[in-house]
Amino acid sequence: MTPLTSNMNPLLVPKNTPGIDMSKTLSIEKKAAAHNEPPPSENTVINKEESTPEPVLAQATPRPSDAELEVDYGPLIEEGSVVNQMYVAAKFARDNLILHEPAQSTFYDYDPKTGLWQPANSESVKIQLGIWLRQILLESAKHLLKRLNQNLLSQILPFLRGVAEKRDAFQRTNNIVHVGNGMLHLDDNPPSFHGFSPDYYSRNSSGICYDETAKCPEFLSALLQPALSDDDISLLQRYAGQCLLGCNPSQRLLLLRGTPGGGKSTVANIIQTVVGNHNVAQLRVNLLGERFELAHYIGKTLLVSADVPGDFLNHKYAQVLKTLVGGDPLNPEQKNRSGRPNMKGEFNVIITSNTRLRVRLDADSGAWRRRLAIIDYALAPTEKPIPHFADQLISTEGAGILNWCIEGSVQLLSELNTTGHIDLTSEQTERVEALLCESDSVRYFVRECVEKRELEDVTTHELLMSYNDYCDERGWQGVATRQFENQIGDVMMDLHRVPRRSDIKRNNKNQRGFSQVALTI
């Protein structure tokens, strides 16, 4: 990975820091002290070699002074004995770095230790407000302490919602990655490493700390290389990098399918951990059309569904997936809340399956063609699986796997800037085409194996037998007999304009079928 250098952005770097030497390194404890933070917990993956450059110290946008707040809202105490609730709300929001997202009806407060804006319910905000206001009154108006009660705090809360309101605060940018110990700006060349700041308005981060020298040899040699080609590893790396970005500029979902025990779930679990498990939601296709399902995805960046059955994408609600990854605007309904937040369909999606999937196309194969990327695990599973291998790799090579994902992010952004899309090899493209064909196998069979012949006819049973042979030759999983019989009438009418009949003669008996057509195989 190319070493990171500082980018002296005046919005992020204090004016008194022109002499920062990015080549110097500090211990984890010294870094934490420099940022007024405690050392990382035992659960945090840290830079064990301590070679990460000190991040450019970030500086938040200047906050209004007490005098400026008084100009806007009046003094803290009015008429000698009245607490000015608007001033209290404004000062509390400033001192505690709190905002209110009105569409979600949710408060968020900023945690300088992680750089994250985290949701807070109204009751916890009220308690925090009470503790803070008590200290303010102790310092400047002790005679009003007796008025500090639940009623006063409840009266201040609506003012706080208004003062701290910030609509659409958490709109992500494609080129910044929030890691456990700072912010990586990938649009700089080489990328630059910055400290946390509330002005990033980030609520999604990887829990793994950045270490520019870290590698992941076992992750590559024991998990990826035995199972995947170099081209598929490259595709996986770019998609993992996209997951780390927290958005989906390629507008594709990733299918990992094939050999049970081949490593698909381990890879998916590792990507989830690098992205941050708190940023992941379970994808439940059968519920995507339900009233409140999309609201579960607010604040998430990655949707995952593991070991799904073959009909997972053949559900009537599967079409919603195209919206979730295609950049479309969404306004999910939330239970017991009146607001509908603006949400963009830019989720990353990873689906793993041990079987071949079929997609419900609904005459929109072109859209699915643009939305799918497929990696096949075709090799036999390992003879001796390693228990908890994902956890083991994260523990020993977490920072290196993070670097591998960051490299994928940089490659993807460069590729999108050059071509406008994520590049697939001819083999990877053929997998998508084969899936679409298999998903619409009855139509493809009729198109390739049935033709118009005025004096001939064919029975439904003859079509079914030929259809099964057609699918077997291609290694496809054909539809069940009942499904074939339900679909064949519409397909024959659509492609050859012949209706289903019940007077096709075979052995002097009437059978169902079609006239003026014949099989070509």
Domains of the chain: 1-172 (no CATH), 217-435 (3.40.50.300), 440-519 (1.10.10.10)
Q: How many CB atoms lie within 10 A of CB 261?
A: 14
Give 135-194 pLDDT, tens digit per residue. 999 998 898 999 999 999 999 999 999 999 998 888 877 789 999 999 999 988 888 999
Average of per-residue pLDDT across 294-315: 93
pLDDT top residue among 103 and 209: 209
Answer for the pair 333, 383: CB distance below 8 angstroms, yes or no. Answer: no
Answer whether 0.75 is exceeded by the pTM.
Answer: yes
- 383: CB partners within 8 A, 6+ apart: none
The alpha carbon dihedral of 65, 68, 72, 73 has a sign of positive
Answer for the pair 267, 351: CB distance below 8 angstroms, yes or no. Answer: no
Calculate ∠ Cα 175-180-184, nearest 5°: 25
Per the listing, tokens 């009245």 go with: 82
Question: Has residue 382 got a pLDDT over 90?
Answer: no
Task: Count H helices and E strands in the chain, helices first.
Answer: 15, 18
Question: Has residue 41 got a pLDDT over 70?
Answer: no
Answer for the pair 49, 122: CB distance below 8 angstroms, yes or no. Answer: no
Q: In whole angstroms, how far apart are CA 462 and each of 292, 388, 451, 499?
A: 47, 51, 14, 16
Question: Has residue 10 got a pLDDT over 70?
Answer: no
Q: Rounded to whole angstroms, how far apart are CA atoms 111 and 118?
A: 7
Q: Rounded to whole angstroms, how far apart are CA atoms 411 and 405?
A: 10
For the chain, give the longest Cα–Cα distance: 107
| Ranges 1-15, 166-180, 243-257, 281-295: which has the least confidence | 1-15
Q: Residue 4: its pLDDT value, please?
A: 41
| Mean of pLDDT over the chain | 86
Question: Has residue 17 got a pLDDT over 70?
Answer: no
Average of per-residue pLDDT across 40-45: 39
Question: Has residue 58 got a pLDDT over 80?
Answer: no
Residue 434 confidence class, pLDDT cut points 50, 70, 90: very high
Q: Residue 48: its pLDDT value, please?
A: 40
Segments in 106-171 forming alpha helices (H): 122-140, 150-163
| Ranges 17-26, 88-97, 159-168, 436-445: which has the least confidence | 17-26
Give 258-284 pLDDT, tens digit per residue. 888 889 999 999 999 999 999 999 999
Q: Residue 368: its pLDDT value, please?
A: 94
Q: Which residues pair with 106 in a beta bridge?
A: 101
Residue 483 token pair: 């499904």
Residue 477 confidence class, pLDDT cut points 50, 70, 90: confident
- 103: CB partners within 8 A, 6+ apart: 167, 168, 339, 340, 341, 342
Average of per-residue pLDDT across 208-219: 95
Average of per-residue pLDDT across 109-135: 94
Give 448-466 pLDDT, tens digit per residue. 999 999 999 999 999 999 9
Q: Residue 23: its pLDDT value, please?
A: 31
Average of per-residue pLDDT across 379-388: 75
Q: Rounded to whole angstroms, how far apart are CA atoms 69 and 67?
A: 5
Answer for the pair 99, 93: CB distance below 8 angstroms, yes or no. Answer: yes
Q: Residue 428: its pLDDT value, please?
A: 97
Residue type, 475: G
Q: Residue 381: its pLDDT value, please?
A: 67
Residue 38 confidence class, pLDDT cut points 50, 70, 90: very low
Percent of the chain with pLDDT over 70: 87
Give 391-407 pLDDT, tens digit per residue. 999 999 999 999 999 99
- 482: CB partners within 8 A, 6+ apart: none
The CA dihedral of 443, 444, 445, 451, to the nearest 10 degrees, is 80
Q: Residue 137: its pLDDT value, please?
A: 93
Give 405-422 pLDDT, tens digit per residue. 999 999 999 999 999 999
* DSSP secondary structure string for all residues of 341-397: --EES--EEEEEESS------TT-HHHHHHHEEEEEE-SPPPSSPPTTHHHHHHHHH
Residue 271 token pair: 């990507």
Q: Rounded to whole angstroms, how far apart are CA atoms 262 and 264?
A: 6
Average of per-residue pLDDT across 235-264: 94
Average of per-residue pLDDT across 99-121: 92
Question: Has residue 242 got a pLDDT over 60?
Answer: yes
Q: Residue 338: its pLDDT value, please?
A: 74
Q: Which residues pair with 505 in a beta bridge?
A: 510
Q: Residue 334: its pLDDT value, please?
A: 85
Which conformational region is residue 497 in: left (phi greater than 0), alpha (psi within -120 to 50 degrees), or beta?
Answer: left
| Ranges 198-212, 351-365, 446-460: which has the least confidence | 351-365
Q: Residue 122: its pLDDT value, please?
A: 92
